[in-house]
Amino acid sequence: MRRTTRRTLAALTACATALFVAACTGQSSGGGDDGSDAGKDVTITFWHGWSQDSEVKAIDANIAAFEKLHPNIHVKSVPNIADDKLEQALRGGGRDAPDVVSSFTTDNVGKFCAAGVWADLAPFLKKDNIDPVATFPAAMRQYSQFEGNQCALPLLSDSYGLFYNKTAFAAAGITSPPKTLSEFEAAARKLTIPEGDSFKQLGFMPNYHGYETTAMHYLGQFGADYFGADGKSNVATDPRVAAMFAWQKDLIAKLGGFDKLEKYRTTFGEEFSAKNPFHTGQVAMSFDGEWRTASLAEDPVSFEWATAPFPVPDDQADTYGRGYQTGTIVGIAKSSQKQTAAWQLVKYLATDTDAVVSFANAIHNVPSTNAALNSPKLSADPNFKTFIDIAKNPHSGTTPSSINGGAYQISLRNFGYDYEAGKVDLAAGLAATAKEIDEAIVQAK
């Protein structure tokens, strides 16, 4: 019930060069008229990454509903397709390649669009009078296109927010979740209970290895811009980037210091298990995604908990309610000779309100269209509604697409590891990171 996007950055960088080299070898332009619009029987292949029984059952249910609406289009669904296998198929093309493809990794969009291995969906959208601006929230539009090429559409999403231990809050005399970072710091310190050279309870784990406490997720609360209009990295010139790194490091110092926090972090259980440190009460607040609500329902904890948007900088208090967004993308293989039928499936899965809502309800993810986010059929208890509202917030953002995938995020992540450990100066380190990002993009082009 969670995405795999959070653990794929290194793999993306490793395969980026191979994808671009292969893409230049030449592939079919696709777009063949398969006759499906005229009622001709056609079978299309759909590759996706969902693998859990409940997930596969949910996507199969949507496919069955689609086939009922389009009795001449038959869908061969292939689950549990990893991104590396998907990329190999897109490079190779041929009769065994998929027609419709889905990826959990939004960082792939820039590579797929630039390499021309996914079809541009703009003509299909225009033909069917679908306005992406009116249909999809801004952050989701941003992560599903690259330099004006709408080669993918969002298919469910993830929102990131704050989980907090209401029982611990009450014991500490905290009556409501913090909205600004100064309030958050005060709460984190008040909720921290030292025990010898460790902690009985930590208010919050700010370190970058603390599961979802990544630099990119934090930067979503600051509204930072990663690239300028000239396409060059902004990480050394946008003051919000430096402000985020300085804030995180300062919080580390106030909660006990990097070494002490890292030692405590080694006692944490697996992130996606009942031994998650928020589940066990080792941390009183956690930065996490909407899927955690389902995990807490499946593995009940011994305390009351609730959700809220993650706090924002004090000088941006009017943006409270925002959050980082990512999700699944779906598109059409450029090599497909059945793009007419393939588009009908993509359109149904990504834009049909009932289809999006039923899928979101089944696998506990956030819907990816404005209509679905506002549908009365959407199952949204108060704790899940937090993430619905984050997705609807106009200040919510994402990490933009890049020609070399998530390489720029890896550069920024690695700087964060060094900076929080005291190994590098903030200004000089960000300048070096920006240079590294720009050089990598030039090389990819």
Per-residue confidence (pLDDT) for residue 94, from 0 to 100: 73
Q: What is the 3-state secondary structure (H, E, C) of 135-148?
A: HCCHHHHHHCCECC
Query: Is residue 445 in a domain?
Result: no
Give the tens place of pLDDT for each residue, 311-356.
Answer: 999 999 999 999 999 999 999 999 999 999 999 999 999 999 999 9
What CA–CA distance (Å, rounded) separates 305 from 327?
25
Return the SS3 of 105: coil
Whether 176 and 122 share a structural domain: no
pLDDT band at 24 (very low <50, low <70, confident <90, very high): very low
| 153-201 pLDDT tens trace | 999 999 999 999 999 999 999 999 999 999 999 999 999 999 999 999 9
pLDDT band at residue 148 under the 50/70/90 scheme? confident
| Mean pLDDT score, 216-236 | 96
Q: Which domain holds residue 186?
A: 160-319
Report yes or no on 405 lying in a domain.
no
Please check whether residues 178 and 252 belong to one and the same domain: yes
pLDDT of residue 31: 58
Shared domain check, 110 and 83: yes
Strands 42-47 and 100-103: parallel
CA distances (Å), origin 23, targets 14, 198, 336, 408? 16, 52, 15, 21
Query: Which residue in 406, 51, 380, 436 sits closest to 216, CA to CA?
Result: 406
pLDDT at residue number 32? 61
pLDDT in tens, 90-118: 877 777 789 999 999 998 899 888 888 99
Element (H, E) at 193: strand 193-195
* Position 29 pLDDT exceeds 70: no
Q: Are residues 25 and 101 in the same domain?
A: yes
Asked if the structure places residue 415 within a domain, the reply is no
Show the tokens assigned to 319. 């943006």
For residue 195, list its beta bridge partners: 198
Is residue 58 within 8 A of residue 358, CB to CB? The reply is: yes
Largest CA distance in the chain: 75
CB atoms within 10 A of CB 385: 15
User: Could you tell me if 125 and 251 lie in one domain?
Assistant: no
Distance from C-alpha of 422 to C-alpha of 433, rounded to nearest angstrom: 16
Shared-domain flag, residues 98 and 141: yes
Across residues 410-421, what is the average pLDDT?
Answer: 98
Q: In this structure, which amino acid lies at residue 176?
A: S
Dihedral class, residue 164 (left if φ above 0, else alpha if ψ from -120 to 50, else beta): beta
pLDDT the model gives residue 11: 45
Structure confidence at residue 115 (pLDDT): 87
Q: Identify the CATH number of the domain in which residue 221 sits.
A: 3.40.190.10
Write down which residue in 286, 319, 352 finishes a domain: 319
Q: Which of 359, 289, 349, 294 is nearest to 324 (CA)?
A: 289
Residue 404 within a domain: no
Domain boundary among 319, 339, 356: 319
- Are residue 142 and residue 191 in the same domain, yes or no? no
Cβ atoms of 125 and 91 closer than 8 Å: no
| Portion of the chain with pLDDT greater than 90, in percent | 84
Q: At which of 370, 387, 404 does a domain end?
A: 387
In a shared domain, residues 125 and 258: no
More confident residue, 409 or 89: 409
Q: Where are the beta strands (DSSP E) in 292-435?
A: 305-308, 325-332
CB 254 within 8 A of CB 185: yes
Structure confidence at residue 14 (pLDDT): 44
Clarify whether residues 89 and 196 are in a common domain: no
Checking if the pLDDT of 10 tops 60, the result is no
Q: Indicate the helix (H) or strand (E) that contains 160.
A: strand 153-165
The predicted model scores a pTM of: 0.92
Domain co-membership, 287 together with 337 = no
* Neighbouring-strand partners of residue 307: 163
Look at residue 440 and tell me if it is in a domain. no
Is residue 70 one of the residues assigned to a domain? yes
The β-bridge relationship of strands 42-47 and 283-289 is: unpaired
Model pLDDT, residue 428? 98
Angle between helices 53-69 and 339-351 (to 10 degrees): 120
pLDDT more than 70, % of the chain: 93
Q: 3-class SS at 339?
A: helix
Count up the domains in the chain and report the number: 2
Residues 21 and 122 in one domain: yes
pLDDT > 70? residue 3:
no
Say if residues 327 and 360 touch (Cβ distance below 8 Å): no
375 domain-assigned? yes
In the predicted model, is pLDDT for residue 442 greater than 60? Answer: yes
- Rounded to whole angstroms, the Cα distance separating 271 from 287 reads 12
CA dist list (Å): 84 to 29, 76, 103, 146, 155: 22, 20, 10, 20, 20
Name the residue type at position 382.
Answer: P
Question: In a 3-state reduction of DSSP, which class is residue 322?
Answer: coil
Confidence of residue 30 (pLDDT cuts 50, 70, 90): low
347-399 confidence digits (pLDDT tens): 999 999 999 999 999 999 999 999 999 999 999 899 999 999 999 999 999 99
Weakest mean pLDDT among 8-17, 231-240, 333-342, 421-430: 8-17
Residue 432 within a domain: no
pLDDT at 223: 97
Claim to verify: residue 77 and residue 154 sit in the same structural domain: yes
The size of the chain, in residues, is: 445
pLDDT of residue 2 exceeding 60, the answer is no
Q: What is the mean pLDDT of the chain?
A: 92
Q: What share of the chain is helix, strand, coil (3-state, %, to 5)?
A: 50, 15, 35
Q: Is it the case that residue 286 has pLDDT exceeding 90?
A: yes
Give the separation between CA 43 and CA 60, rounded to whole angstroms: 15
